[in-house]
A and B are shown apart, each in its own frame.
Chain A
Amino acid sequence: MLPVMQREFVEKRGWMTDEEMVDTVAVMQSLPGIIAVNMSSLIGYRIAGIWGAVAGTAGVILPPFLCILVIAMGMSKLAASEALNHIFLGVRSAVTALILLSAYKLAKQIVKDAFSAVLCIAGFLLLVFVEMEAIWLIVAAATIGLIHMAFSCHSAAKGGKP
Chain B
Amino acid sequence: MNTIFFLYYLFAKISLFTFGGGYAMIPLFQDELVVKHAYLTDAEFANMVALAQMTPGPVGLNAATYIGYHEAGVLGAVAGTLGVMTPCLILATLAGMFLQKMKDNRIVKGALSGIRPAVLGLIAAAVIFFANTSLFSAPFSNLWKGGGFGLCWQGLLIFAVTLALELKWKLNLLWVLLIGAFLGWGLFLF
A134 engages B27 (CB within 8 Å):
yes
CB distance from A141 to the nearest CB of B (A): 3
By the criterion of a CB under 8 Å from any partner CB, how many residues of chain A are at the interface? 89
Rounded to whole angstroms, the CA-CA distance of A99 and B53 in the bound complex is: 11
Chain B residues with CB under 8 Å of A97's CB are: 159-160, 162-163, 166
B92 engages A94 (CB within 8 Å):
no
Chain B residues with CB under 8 Å of A94's CB are: 158-159, 162, 176-177, 179-181
A32 engages B15 (CB within 8 Å):
yes
B188 engages A89 (CB within 8 Å):
yes
B111 engages A145 (CB within 8 Å):
yes
Q: Mark A103-115, 1 if CB is under 8 A from B, else 0.
A: 1001100110001
Beyond A107-B120, A144-B114, is A90–B184 a contact (Cβ under 8 Å)? yes
B180 engages A134 (CB within 8 Å):
no
Main secondary structure, interface of A, reads helix
Rounded to whole angstroms, the CA-CA distance of A65 and B60 in the bound complex is: 11
Q: What total count of A-B pairs have CB within 8 Å? A: 343
B91 engages A92 (CB within 8 Å):
no
Q: Mark B16-49, 1 if CB is under 8 A from A, else 0.
A: 1111111100111011000000000001001101
Rounded to whole angstroms, the CA-CA distance of A120 and B116 in the bound complex is: 8
B163 engages A101 (CB within 8 Å):
yes
Chain B residues with CB under 8 Å of A26's CB are: 103
Does chain B have a CB within 8 A of A121?
Answer: yes
Q: Mark B71-108, 1 if CB is under 8 A from A, else 0.
A: 00010010001001101110111011101001100111
By the criterion of a CB under 8 Å from any partner CB, how many residues of chain B are at the interface? 106
Does chain B have a CB within 8 A of A4?
Answer: no
| Most chain A beta carbons < 10 A, residue from B102, B103, B112, B162 | B162
Binding site for A on B (CB under 8 A): 13, 15-23, 26-28, 30-31, 43, 46-47, 49-58, 60-62, 65-66, 69-70, 74, 77, 81, 84-85, 87-89, 91-93, 95-97, 99, 102-103, 106-128, 130-131, 133-135, 140-141, 144, 152, 154-156, 158-160, 162-163, 166-167, 173, 176-177, 179-185, 187-188
Binding site for B on A (CB under 8 A): 23-24, 26-28, 30-39, 41-42, 45-46, 50, 53-54, 57, 61, 63-65, 67-69, 71-73, 75-76, 83, 86-103, 106-107, 110-111, 115-117, 119-124, 126-129, 131, 133-135, 137-146, 148-150, 153
